[in-house]
């Protein structure tokens, strides 16, 4: 097999507890023809000194010390210094399997693609595509771009730049278009530009990258600032993508709407949280007017999901104790409003079946037809995919 040079770019900022493990995992690659570029983004701990020590001991390692400018500027500095035919990225607090770049280079050469995408491990859970294959981009560009923007957990290719290996000319062209000040969604912007610029992409179902979840990392800070980040991401994407013929204003409007609805759906009393549940058979709600019963954890996640599904309408969100559930811009009503609304079904949003049955019996006593009352075990977000249970009506045969 050919041994083209691979440049591995490692941005690092104040991660003295993790950077050594990251560097060692790259040094130990079975594929040895590497240029390892460590970009110290103005760290004020021992990160820079640790990088320098590894560079002293390994001629493949180069260190760039720069003034703190953020992740995007650090990666761009690494790209400028890259000499490889291919370019990969590893965040300085993560690590990789020893055969990662050997496998990715082999697949790049075998299939002659512009970049290869693989899965990753998060908290010992594998997150990867369901199957592997080459995507011929030109004839599928619009559909693929829409999937990236609107697909969320069911996206064909995850946004992460570090789970991929790129042709050098491709990543130079795409990443330079990511705004320097971007601090949220930069990988999504890069992926969208790659799709617009590439001809062939390979998706693998293997996982080689180990993503470390740190509570203090920017992507996991759940506060109101995420709404501002959503707006900034939309504006950044619009500014970049509008220069292309494949730009779709309607898709971008839906993207912003969905992004903000997800943030709203994650609100709890004082903060944001990640959605845990979703309704597994939302396609069965097509054309329906829906009342969601329950405003706890399941109800919040159902509302966030169903409210962005354009083919049905939420006519009320109710709870037995609505005063306990207050959300900005979203009203939870008393169950008494059910009698004044036209609806096709009441969706009971609780996890426990016994509780759901009690709610269902109470609704029947209030005059709600049994065939309009539905409950199913809430689906869980697991490994980026949902684990679904068969949906069923509690009381009578479901409507056709």
* 270 assigned to some structural domain: no
* 74 assigned to some structural domain: yes
* 147 assigned to some structural domain: yes
Phi, psi for 333 (deg, rounded to 5): -95, 165
* 57 assigned to some structural domain: yes
End-of-domain residue from the set 220, 245, 265: 220
Residue 125 CB coordination number (10 Å): 12
Residues 211 and 281 in one domain: no
Please give the chain's pLDDT, 400 residues, in tens. 579 999 999 999 999 999 999 999 999 999 999 999 999 999 999 999 999 999 999 999 999 999 999 999 999 999 999 999 999 999 999 999 999 999 999 999 999 999 999 999 988 889 888 889 999 898 889 889 988 898 755 577 889 999 999 999 999 999 999 999 888 899 999 999 999 999 999 999 999 999 998 655 444 445 556 778 888 899 999 999 999 988 889 999 988 887 876 665 554 433 434 567 889 888 889 999 999 999 988 998 899 889 878 788 999 999 998 888 777 668 899 999 999 999 999 999 998 898 999 999 999 999 999 999 999 999 876 433 333 322 333 333 223 3
Residues 57 and 181 in one domain: yes
Q: In which element (H, E) is residue 121 found?
A: strand 115-122
Q: In which element (H, E) is residue 140 found?
A: helix 137-150
At a CB cut-off of 8 Å and minimum separation 6, what does 326 contact?
A: 269, 332
The pLDDT, as a whole number, for residue 386 is: 35
End-of-domain residue from the set 220, 243, 261: 220
Phi, psi for 77 (deg, rounded to 5): -65, -40
Residue 75 and residue 64: Cα distance in Å, rounded?
Answer: 11
Q: Hey, is 379 helix, strand or coil? A: strand
Residues 48 and 169 in one domain: yes
Nearest to 78 by CA among 135, 10, 140, 130: 10
CA distances from 112 to 109, 122, 200 (A): 5, 29, 8
Q: Are strands 379-382 and 6-12 parallel, antiparallel or unpaired?
A: unpaired
The first and second tokens of residue 201, run together, are 């992409």
* 346 assigned to some structural domain: yes
Residues 200 and 284 in one domain: no
Q: Are strands 200-211 and 133-136 parallel, antiparallel or unpaired?
A: antiparallel
Residue 272, strand partner residues = 267
Residues 203 and 132 in one domain: yes
The pLDDT, as a whole number, for residue 163 is: 96
End-of-domain residue from the set 178, 200, 220: 220
At a CB cut-off of 8 Å and minimum separation 6, what does 173 contact?
A: 193, 197
* 320 assigned to some structural domain: yes
Residue 322 and residue 293: Cα distance in Å, rounded?
Answer: 10
Residues 205 and 287 in one domain: no
The pLDDT, as a whole number, for residue 342 is: 94
Half-sphere exposure of 295 (CA within 13 A, CB side): 21
DSSP assignment, residue 285? G
Half-sphere exposure of 354 (CA within 13 A, CB side): 0
Residues 203 and 335 in one domain: no
Residues 39 and 139 in one domain: yes
Residues 313 and 168 in one domain: no
Q: Check which CATH number belongs to the domain holding 382 and give it.
A: 3.40.50.720
Domain that holds residue 16: 6-220
The pLDDT, as a whole number, for residue 130 is: 81
CA angle 168, 171, 173 (to 5 degrees): 105
Q: Check which CATH number belongs to the domain holding 46 and give it.
A: 3.90.550.10
Nearest to 78 by CA among 3, 13, 4: 13
At a CB cut-off of 8 Å and minimum separation 6, what does 270 contact?
A: none
* 234 assigned to some structural domain: no
Q: Are strands 392-393 and 313-319 parallel, antiparallel or unpaired?
A: unpaired
Residues 286 and 208 in one domain: no
Residue 80 and residue 76: Cα distance in Å, rounded?
Answer: 6
In total, the chain counts a number of residues equal to 400
* 186 assigned to some structural domain: yes
Residue 317, strand partner residues = 292
Residues 26 and 142 in one domain: yes
The domain tally of the chain equals 2
pTM: 0.67
Burial 30-67 (b: 16+ CB within 10 A, else e): ebeebbbbbbbbbbeeebbebbeebbeeeebbbbbeee
The first and second tokens of residue 174, run together, are 């795409």
CA distances from 297 to 275, 349, 381 (A): 9, 9, 13
DSSP assignment, residue 137? H
Residues 53 and 147 in one domain: yes
- Note whether 346 and 362 are within 8 A (CB): no
The pLDDT, as a whole number, for residue 326 is: 74
Write out the DSSP string of 330-344: B--EEGGGGGGS--S
């Amino acid at each position: 097999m050919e041994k083209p040079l691979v440049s591995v770019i490692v941005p690092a900022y104040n991660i003295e507890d993790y950077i050594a493990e990251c560097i060692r995992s790259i040094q130990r690659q079975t594929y040895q023809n590497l240029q390892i570029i460590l970009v110290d983004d103005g760290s004020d701990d021992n990160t820079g000194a640790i990088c320098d020590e590894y560079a002293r001991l390994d001629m493949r390692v180069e260190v760039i010390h720069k003034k703190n400018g953020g992740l995007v500027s650090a990666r761009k500095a690494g790209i400028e210094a890259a000499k490889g035919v291919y370019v990969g990225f590893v965040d300085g607090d993560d690590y990789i399997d020893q055969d990662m770049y050997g496998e990715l280079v082999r697949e790049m050469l075998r299939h002659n693609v512009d970049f290869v995408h693989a899965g990753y491990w998060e908290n010992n859970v594998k997150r990867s595509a369901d199957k592997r294959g080459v995507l011929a981009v030109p004839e599928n560009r619009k559909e693929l771009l829409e999937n990236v923007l609107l697909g969320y957990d069911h996206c064909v290719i995850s946004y992460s730049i570090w789970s991929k290996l790129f042709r050098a000319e491709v990543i130079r062209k795409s990443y330079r278009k990511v705004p320097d000040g971007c601090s949220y969604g930069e990988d999504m912007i890069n992926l969208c530009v790659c799709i617009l610029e590439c001809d062939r992409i390979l998706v693998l179902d293997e996982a080689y990258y180990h993503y470390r979840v740190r509570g203090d990392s920017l992507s996991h800070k759940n506060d109101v600032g995420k709404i501002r980040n959503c707006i900034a991401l939309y504006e950044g994407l619009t500014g970049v993508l509008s220069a292309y013929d494949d730009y779709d204003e309607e898709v971008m409007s839906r993207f912003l709407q969905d992004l903000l609805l997800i943030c709203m759906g994650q609100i709890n009393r004082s903060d944001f949280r990640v959605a845990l549940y979703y309704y597994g058979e939302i396609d069965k709600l097509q054309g329906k007017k829906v009342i969601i019963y329950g405003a706890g954890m399941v109800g919040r996640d159902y509302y966030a999901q169903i409210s962005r599904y354009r083919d049905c309408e939420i006519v009320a969100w109710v709870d037995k104790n609505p005063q306990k559930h207050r959300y900005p811009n979203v009203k939870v009503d008393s169950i008494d409003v059910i009698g004044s609304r036209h609806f096709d079904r009441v969706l009971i949003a609780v996890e426990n079946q016994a509780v759901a049955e009690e709610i269902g019996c109470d609704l029947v006593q209030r005059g709600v037809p049994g065939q309009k009352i539905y409950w199913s075990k809430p689906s869980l977000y697991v490994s980026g995919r949902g684990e679904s249970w068969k949906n069923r009506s509690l009381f009578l045969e479901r409507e056709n």
